[in-house]
Structure 1
Amino acid sequence: MRIGLTGATGFIGSHFALLAHGKGHQIVAYSRGSKGAPVADENLQQPRQAAHALPETKLDALVHLSGESLMGLWTAEKRDRIWKSRVDFTEALVAHLGTWKEQNRPKVLLCASGAGFYGNSGSAIVDETSPRGEGFLADVCAGWERAAHRAEALGMRVVSLRTGMVLGRDGGAFPLLRRVFGLGLGGRLGSGEQWMSWIHLNDAVQIILKALETETVSGPVNLCAPGAVTNAEFTRKLAEALHRPAFFHAPAFVLRLLLRGMAEEMLLSGQRVIPRIAAEMGFEFEHADISGAFKSLV
């Protein structure tokens, strides 16, 4: 397939490009950044236009992974950038695809979303059939998915990738966590009872490719391992993998004071997500439990 890819130089996008290219697919990479393309090959193109201004070309599929980072203080300006880079940007992208000739338009759109769609679900198990939750992230994810699903009116199959914490050596939260815990400064956040849905990078990109290649899959797909854990267990298992203590504790009120809304929704709340659609696709996780994932990473 000839696959368009936004966010191509990002953490997940660059590894997806490598996997898809290795499986014989042709990647047309789009990025707003200045970094080079993730694969050095004559079949990889990297126009540096904004994604909603993609030059028309023949695409079989489009994987849309770009968006403002959620890390940082959630000021009004930051929230506005998060919303515009996900919801407004995707609306513009789909509208732009509608101007393409039908024979050039991709037949499938895979668009990033997040496990934050489920809000703070407590200890209840949620899957792709569960309703949306409450909060800023839930609003963003719902708007993001709604914008992506407008492509169905163009005859495109649409998949929303509800992604949990992606664990990899060279991006996401893990490098920082490894440094902090390696210094013996790790510890639980708040009560530690909040659930964390995570996935190893290798499994994440393989599920994306499998969903892309499986024509019967549409709608939400949870990019999460089957073994969700509480923050306390996550902390304990990472400390064990690094052979370091984890005595520190970040009180909830301190996190709320320092990080505002980000702390409440990303650090002190959580979701116990299971990947029902991945199981129905017959996907076999390489890293189904957190201990094995940490062992592979350290």
Structure 2
Amino acid sequence: MKAVIAGGTGFIGRALVRSLTGDGHAVVVLTRTPAGKRPAPGVTYAPFDGATGEGWLRHLDGAAVLVNLVGENIASGYWTAARKARLRQSRLDAGAAVMDALRRAADPPRVLIQGSATGFYGDRSEVPVDETAPAGAGFLAALARDWEASTAGAEALGLRRAVARTAVVLGAGGGALPRMLAPYRFFLGGPLGPGTQYFPWIHLADEVAAIRLLMEHPQASGPFNLAAPGALTQDGLAQALGRALGRPAALRAPAFLLRLALGEMAQELFLNGVRAVPAKLARLGFVFRFPDIGAALADILGAGERSHG
């Protein structure tokens, strides 16, 4: 199988590329800096301007699947108006590039995997939310909704399109977890805000396995919640992080201080919550390797220790 991946140099994308090439599949990674990438077995790097199919269109010929994970990191900077505009535009431009390439390809793939996030649902309190729920309110909900819509036209072209509404991905060597663990290492860890808000998460290994299921299963279409079934509040998360590091988890970060420091970003990223349920993955028979946060953290922290040993 040949896969073309936009966003293949990110945290999730790199793990997906490793999984595919490890199984002998050919992967074309779209990147703005192909000349600076070191050659890797089974991987071809193609130029990507983030807005059109120029430079990589030919790589779609004969490909089985196109994966679009492109979008600037929502947590990498304070949410100014300009920053929010860039977050949105990076996703819309990538969607436009995907559609431009698909319309012009001589032999396009028949499957498109479109990235999204559980932020689509907004703040949902403790109510379990499956894929039938509508988009919520707020910046992240609108961002995810528009990200998904950017490639909706692929279905009219005859492609099977699956949308990966991804929770916070936990894994070794990147992602959100290092920043989450940092306060605990200095005995400063604890819940964020009231602690009752739900925290959707997924182990990197399950994220990759779920994306591959969406790529390969002929009945996988529409939105899918890529979130572990082990429902977890911020209080539960704090206790799990503390246990994993052998540290206390008693220093709660008050909501007003988070808002003072981070503004709108604090509310949407840390104080809102959604109890995302992977209902459609379950119906396809997907089995999580790490449905429980304790086992997930033990595996991730053990992998980090092994990589430094």
Q: Is 1:65 paired with 2:61?
A: no
After TM superposition, list the pairs within 5 Å mapping 1:12-27 onto structure 2: 12-27=12-27
Of residues 188-197 and 241-250 in structure 1, the stretch that sits farther from structure 2 once superposed is 241-250
The answer to whether the 8 Å contact 2:68/2:98 transfers is no
Contact 1:189/1:251 (<8 A) preserved: yes
Write the distance in 2 (CA, Å) between the matches of 1:196 and 1:248.
Answer: 18
Q: Counterpart of 1:19 in structure 2: which amino acid?
A: S
Out of 42, 55, 79, the residue aligned to residue 57 of structure 2 is 55
Instruction: Provide the TM-score with structure 2 as the length reference.
Output: 0.91
List 4+ stretches of structure 1 deviating above 4 A: none
Partner deviation per Cα, 1:240-272 (whole Å, 9 max, x = no partner): 111011222211111112111111111000100
2:97 is matched by which residue type in structure 1? A
Please state how far the C-alpha of 1:75 moved relative to its aligned partner.
0.5
Q: Where do residues 90-169 of structure 1 align in structure 2 (5 Å cutoff)? A: 90-101=95-106, 104-169=107-172
- What SS does the aligned partner of 1:210 have? helix
Mapped contact 1:87–1:140 kept (Cα < 8 A): no
In the TM superposition, what is the alpha-carbon distance from 1:279 to its structure 2 partner? Answer: 0.7
Aligned length: 294
Q: Which amino acid aligns with 2:57?
A: P
Q: Post-superposition shift, 1:33?
A: 5.1
8 Å CA contact 2:116, 2:147 repeated in 1? yes
Q: Which amino acid aligns with 1:36?
A: K
Matched, 1:76 2:81: yes
Distance of 2:234 and 2:175 partners within structure 1: 17
- Aligned letter for 1:73? Y
Q: 1:147, 1:133 → 2: CA distance?
A: 18
Deviation (angstroms), 1:89: 2.5
Which deviations, in whole Å up to 9, do the C-alpha atoms of 1:32-57 show, x marking residues without a partner?
A: 357636x711x311013324333322
User: Given that residues 62 and 110 in structure 1 are in contact (C-alpha distance below 8 angstroms), is that contact kept between their aligned partners in structure 2?
Assistant: yes
Letter of the 1:89 counterpart:
A
Whether the 8 Å CA contact 1:9–1:33 is kept in 2: the answer is no
Equivalent residue number for residue 37 of structure 2: 36
Q: Please, which moves more after superposition, 264-273 or 147-156? A: 147-156
Kindly, what percent of the aligned residue pairs are identical?
A: 39
Work out whether 1:224 is the aligned partner of 2:227: yes
2:104 aligned counterpart, secondary structure: coil
Whole-angstrom CA distance in 1 between matches of 2:49 and 2:154: 19
Q: Is the 8 A contact 1:7 1:32 kept in 2?
A: no
Cα distance in 2 for partners of 1:25, 1:13 equals 15
Please name the residue that 2:93 is paired with.
88
How far is 1:191 from its partner?
A: 0.5
Which residue identity lines up with residue 101 of structure 2 in the other structure? H
Q: Deviations over 1:195-245 (max 9, x none)?
A: 001000000000000110001110001110001200010001110111011
Asked if 1:209 is matched to 2:208, the reply is no
Residue 96 of structure 1 aligns with an amino acid whose one-letter code is A
Equivalent-residue separation in structure 2 for 1:279 and 1:260 (angstroms): 37
Decide whether aligned partners of structure 1 residues 17 and 269 sit closer, same or farther in structure 2, where only a CA change above 3 A counts. same
Query: Contact between 2:162 and 2:221, CA under 8 Å: does it hold in 1?
Result: yes
Distance 2:158 2:265 in 1: 37
Q: Is residue 2:263 matched to residue 1:260?
A: yes
Structure 2, gaps ≥5 residues long: 302-309
Deviations 1:109-141 (A, max 9, x none): 101100001100100000111111111111111
Backbone CA RMSD of aligned residues: 1.4
Separation in structure 1 between the aligned mates of residue 221 and residue 32 of structure 2, nearest angstrom? 27
1:12-44 deviations in whole A, cap 9, x for unaligned? 00000111112232111112357636x711x31
Query: Which deviates more from structure 2 when the two are superposed, residues 140-149 or residues 210-219?
Result: 140-149
Q: Quote how far apart the aligned CAs of 1:179 are.
A: 2.5
1:280 pairs with 2:283:
yes
The TM-score normalised by the length of structure 1 is 0.95
2:247 corresponds to which of 221, 244, 247: 244
Structure 1 gaps, min length 5: none
The answer as to 2:233 corresponding to 1:234 is no
